[in-house]
Structure 1
Amino acid sequence: MFKKFWLDTIYALAFILVLAFIVTQAFAFKIFDVFDPIGDAFKDMESTDIVFSQLREDPLAEEDLILVNIGNLNRQGIADLVNIINAAEPRVIGMDMFFPELKPDTLGDLALSYAFSQVENLVLVSKLEQPNDNNTFDSLALSHEIFSQYGESAFANFITGAADQDDIKVCRTFAPKEYANDELQYALSVKLSYYMDSVKTMNFLERNKEVEVINYRGNIFDYGATEAPITYFALDWYQVYDGQFAPELIKDKCVLFCFLGSELGDRKALEDKYFTPLNANYAGKGHADMFGGVVHANAMSMILSEDYVDQLGDNITYIIAIILLYINVVLFVFIYKVMPKWYDGLTKLIQLIEASTLFTLGLILFNSYSFKVDTTWMILGVLIAGDALEVYFGVVKNLFTKEGRKELTQVKKL
């Protein structure tokens, strides 16, 4: 009897894992997508989004990083901005924009090139292109030589999961470094951080992670366009022209030129804008909440504050999920055999308590220790164990017994 009990638990576990695999494959091929409008609203959500958008206290403002909005200025206008800011002696200037070709406005190109030549530490973005099967890139897009010759390059690519421009671009992670044309390239946030604190940046790189979760801190002041904490100081292009800033604000700081709308608070601008975990509508997101330049700023803050996000590896997560599933199978099989009348009520209660506990534990670990544990598979295993066991005992097991098959072929009168 004791041996039969443990055999039942092992066979039941195997059945549930096979069933879960079949269901997973069905969802992978989008078989049920037409029936899942609710799932569409939650597919871009993670439980940790609740921590970012609802639970964490507003952080202190970032003092070492200033954003400058270029708006819709032409190259002559951008050159004027660079000259004004550079006169205030920033430690490094980053340009989160491409200048791949020369314009018919030759004077504008020459003015921008000259402005760059006057900057002591300049970083211009590049773009990783043509990914290959070796998880590297075959091409690196750079600005035209008359611009790029005066600075270093760093890639601006984010990891969004968007297959094309119409897909929702959710940015939670970034790659600190990548290989392109067999040469090591660094992310813009990493390269800029190195100028601000080389020791902390090297400590970050020594983590040697292919992908890092961005520990978001906040956004810019955007006149109510988003509800995220205001963490980064941003100057609009006309404020720079009018001298509406103190030079002390810029001296020895990192200044990142980027597009933040035609002017700060522009709610119609969609270019270079992303959904982030700071989005107040973490389920069924409606409007992108952060420009790319601010995403780079958040990654920089994480590096310079050494406030990283660690996470449990996928393989360990799966192992824990299977162990937890088996523990539930053992418990539920015991209830099924010893207290069959109590099975439905007790299993549902246990599932509810376990799922709530796992969900809450994941939030606590992330909120208190910046440790990310994906509890999705653990919770899923808990939730399907009870009903899947009923299918196993009521259908699968009966199919392998003579008595069970006989009952299935007999039709009794009502």
Structure 2
Amino acid sequence: MFKKFWLDTILGTIFILLLMLGFSRLTYFKIFDVLDPIGDAFADMETTDIVFSQIRQAPTAEEDIVLVNIGTENRAGIAYMISIINQFNPKVVGVDTFFKNPKDSIGDQLLEEAFASVENLILVSKLENTDEDDQFDSLGLSHSRFNQHAQTAFANFITGASTQEDLKNCRTFAPREMVNGKMEYALSVKLAMEFAPEKAEKFLKRGNDVEIINYKGNVFDYGATKFGTTYFALDVQDVYNQNFVPDLIEGKIVIFCFLGNYLGDRQALEDKYFTPLNAKYTGKAHADMFGGVVHANALSMILNENYIDSMSDNWSYFWAFFLLYLNVTAFCYIYKVVPKWYDGLTKLIQLLEALALFSMVVYVFNFYDYKLEFNLAIIAILLSGDLLEIYFGVIKNLFTKEGRRELTKLKKL
């Protein structure tokens, strides 16, 4: 009897694992998508989004980063804005837009002269074309007459979007990528290398191919995100009229980027992303953050050294298997000792376990900036009770004479 009990726990666990693997393959091929309108609303949500959008308290404003909106200005206008800002001695200037082809001789000349006057200038590049090993094999750059006065850093984010119509959820970024034998750094990392090289070096020593962005806030956004004006931003007219104090710029990081036709423009969709700070964290309708502000958040994380660590896949698999086997053992005992209580007790245990794991993920992420990967474990727990009942009620009976005999009687009936 004792050996039979443990054999059931092992076989029951294997059966559940095989079914979970089968379900995962069906989900991979999107067979059930047409039947899952509710799931679509939660598909782009993670548990940790609740921490960012609902639980965390607003952090202090970022003092070392200033964003400048280029709006719809032409090259001559952008050149004039850069020249004004450069008078106040910023430590490093980043420009998050491309100037790929010549347009007009006067505007191009003014822009080139403005770039040449900036001591530490970084222009964005774009990682393009992956090869057979899924490595980027080329860089998209601005025209050489502009690029010659600057270092470059890529602006790509990891969004999971394969087309322009897909939702662009931005939670992570790659700190660096090798392109044709040359190391190219992310814009946020490159800016940090110029502003605080020791902090950038510490960040890069983590050696992660992908980093989770520890979001700090947004520019003025009319409530699109929970944390509003964390980053000070200047609009076009603010720069033209020099509507700022010199201390705002001197020795700081200045990022020129598109922040809408005007600050607070919620209709503009160009270079805009969904982030965990989105005030509406399920069934999101409106992207909440411009790309330049995403770069600023990643940069803040590096400068403040408040990185986010996460559980490895191996540990995630271990805890999923361990908790599944623990549940199967407990449920086997309940099935054999108090079968009438099986449905009620198993559902109650599953509910309490799932709530406990969910709460643990939220608590640890909120207070320790560590992301526990318990999604697979929670799924295994929620499936274990019903799937184990299928194992006892169907699979096991198929391998007994008595079970097969009852099926035969059913056919005769």
Bin of the TM-score, shorter chain as denominator length:
over 0.9
- Preserved CA contact (<8 Å) 2:223 2:279: no
Cα distance in structure 2, aligned partners of 1:223 and 1:343: 52
- Preserved CA contact (<8 Å) 1:223 1:264: no
Identical-residue share of aligned pairs (%): 61
> Quick one: which amino acid aligns to residue 346 of structure 1?
L
Q: How many residues align?
A: 413
Cα distance in structure 1, aligned partners of 2:396 and 2:27: 27
Cα distance in structure 2, aligned partners of 1:193 and 1:264: 25
SS, match of residue 256 in structure 2: strand
SS, match of residue 373 in structure 2: coil
Task: Please report how far the alpha carbon of residue 227 of structure 1 lies from its aligned counterpart in structure 2 after TM superposition.
Answer: 3.9
Task: Please report how far the alpha carbon of residue 229 of structure 1 lies from its aligned counterpart in structure 2 after TM superposition.
Answer: 3.0
- Preserved CA contact (<8 Å) 1:225 1:265: no
Cα distance in structure 2, aligned partners of 1:230 and 1:323: 44
SS, match of residue 231 in structure 2: strand
Cα distance in structure 2, aligned partners of 1:413 and 1:400: 20
- Per the alignment, residue 60 of structure 1 pairs with 60
Cα distance in structure 1, aligned partners of 2:63 and 2:238: 19
RMSD of equivalent CA atoms: 1.2
Cα distance in structure 2, aligned partners of 1:25 and 1:248: 57
Instruction: Out of 222-231 and 43-52, give the one that drifted further.
Output: 222-231
- Preserved CA contact (<8 Å) 2:90 2:250: yes
- Per the alignment, residue 381 of structure 2 pairs with 382
- Per the alignment, residue 72 of structure 2 pairs with 72
Normalising by structure 1, what TM-score? 0.98
Question: Does 1:169 pair with 2:174?
Answer: no
- Preserved CA contact (<8 Å) 1:156 1:188: yes
Cα distance in structure 1, aligned partners of 2:266 and 2:196: 34
Task: Please report how far the alpha carbon of residue 132 of structure 1 lies from its aligned counterpart in structure 2 after TM superposition.
Answer: 2.0
Cα distance in structure 2, aligned partners of 1:272 and 1:42: 23
- Per the alignment, residue 284 of structure 2 pairs with 285
- Preserved CA contact (<8 Å) 1:215 1:307: yes
Cα distance in structure 2, aligned partners of 1:335 and 1:208: 47
Task: Please report how far the alpha carbon of residue 248 of structure 1 lies from its aligned counterpart in structure 2 after TM superposition.
Answer: 1.2
Task: Please report how far the alpha carbon of residue 412 of structure 1 lies from its aligned counterpart in structure 2 after TM superposition.
Answer: 9.4
SS, match of residue 397 in structure 1: helix
Task: Please report how far the alpha carbon of residue 133 of structure 1 lies from its aligned counterpart in structure 2 after TM superposition.
Answer: 3.1
Cα distance in structure 2, aligned partners of 1:227 and 1:336: 47
The CA deviation string for residues 219-263 of structure 1, in whole angstroms up to 9 with x for no partner, is 001344544332100000111001111111100000000000000
The answer for unaligned runs of 5 or more in structure 2 is none
Runs of 4+ off more than 6 Å: none
- Preserved CA contact (<8 Å) 1:228 1:279: no
The CA deviation string for residues 148-205 of structure 1, in whole angstroms up to 9 with x for no partner, is 0001000000000001100000000000000112211000000001111110110000
SS, match of residue 410 in structure 1: helix
Cα distance in structure 2, aligned partners of 1:411 and 1:161: 51
- Per the alignment, residue 231 of structure 1 pairs with 230
> Quick one: which amino acid aligns to residue 133 of structure 2?
N
> Quick one: which amino acid aligns to residue 51 of structure 1?
V
- Per the alignment, residue 42 of structure 2 pairs with 42
- Per the alignment, residue 218 of structure 1 pairs with 217
> Quick one: which amino acid aligns to residue 388 of structure 2?
L
- Per the alignment, residue 9 of structure 1 pairs with 9
- Preserved CA contact (<8 Å) 1:16 1:388: yes
Question: Does 1:110 pair with 2:87?
Answer: no
Cα distance in structure 1, aligned partners of 2:308 and 2:224: 27
Equivalence map 1:345-364=2 (5 Å): 345-364=344-363
- Per the alignment, residue 244 of structure 1 pairs with 243
- Per the alignment, residue 23 of structure 2 pairs with 23
Task: Please report how far the alpha carbon of residue 361 of structure 1 lies from its aligned counterpart in structure 2 after TM superposition.
Answer: 0.2
